[in-house]
Amino acid sequence: MHSEKDLIERCVKGDRKAQKELYDRHVSAMLVVALRYSKARQEAEDIIQESFIKVFDKIKTYKGESDIKYWIKRIVVNTALNHQRSKLYMFPMVDVEGMHNDFYSEISLSSYHFKELLQMIQELPTGCQAIFNLYAIEGYNHQEIAEMLNISVGTSKSQYSRAKMLLKERIEKEQKVSYERARQ
């Protein structure tokens, strides 16, 4: 196993074995990222394939200022967003100031398996899904999201609030079904 620095230098030179090793090191984690932005595994795999083509095409521009996995992740996120851009439907804006922000306080996510949570995120409308991922998981603020998606800050906030509301409704419904089953 080679050091990341050595591996990257070899990738810059076009070494196919180094590219495969870099791919193998990061593909699993990046597939999880792509799955969060897609509706199905095949779509996520397409995003990964396209992303790694970009990684190897642009590896010469990697300056080493951050860990390579974050650099690759940024490419995967941008590729996923570009992939979704034509399908990105934004619901009409709602007043987010008037909405209750109790999503995290009322619901325990610890009882859910990763695959269940991923499925819930994948079932969100595309615009809500993208913004929920960018804000809640990737850590971007609404101004950054607005610039990335060429939308207003208000639209970003509104879509995020809608995503939280839809997730909360889904979780409450599942908890109710589980409770009813337990009572039987």
Task: Give the CATH number of the domain where residue 78 resides.
Answer: 1.10.1740.10
The answer to whether residue 124 sits within a structural domain is: yes
The answer to whether residue 117 sits within a structural domain is: yes
The answer to whether residue 14 sits within a structural domain is: yes
User: Which residue range(s) make up the domain with 121?
Assistant: 96-183
> Domain with 106 in it: what CATH number?
1.10.10.10
Measured between alpha carbons, how far is 115 from 73 in angstroms, rounded to an integer? 20
Tell me the average pLDDT across 79-97: 65
- Whether residues 8 and 27 share a domain: the answer is yes
Give residue 169's pLDDT: 92
Give residue 96's pLDDT: 46
The answer to whether residue 35 sits within a structural domain is: yes
- Which has the higher per-residue pLDDT, 1 or 96? 1
Question: How many domains, in total, are found in the chain?
Answer: 2
* Per-residue pLDDT tens over the stretch 49-64: 999 999 999 999 999 8
Which of 160, 142, 37, 19 has its CA nearest to residue 87? 37
Give residue 44's pLDDT: 96
- Whether residues 72 and 129 share a domain: the answer is no
**Is the predicted pLDDT of residue 159 greater than 90, yes or no?**
yes
Tell me the average pLDDT across 144-158: 93
Give residue 175's pLDDT: 81
Tell me the average pLDDT across 70-77: 96
Which of 114, 108, 126, 99 has its CA nearest to residue 174? 108
Backbone phi, psi, residue 135, to 5°: -85, -55
Measured between alpha carbons, how far is 158 from 44 in angstroms, rounded to an integer? 26
- Whether residues 56 and 11 share a domain: the answer is yes
Helices (H), the chain: 4-12, 16-37, 41-58, 68-84, 103-106, 114-122, 126-132, 142-149, 153-183
The answer to whether residue 91 sits within a structural domain is: no
Under 8 Å between Cβ of 136 and 161: no
Give residue 23's pLDDT: 97
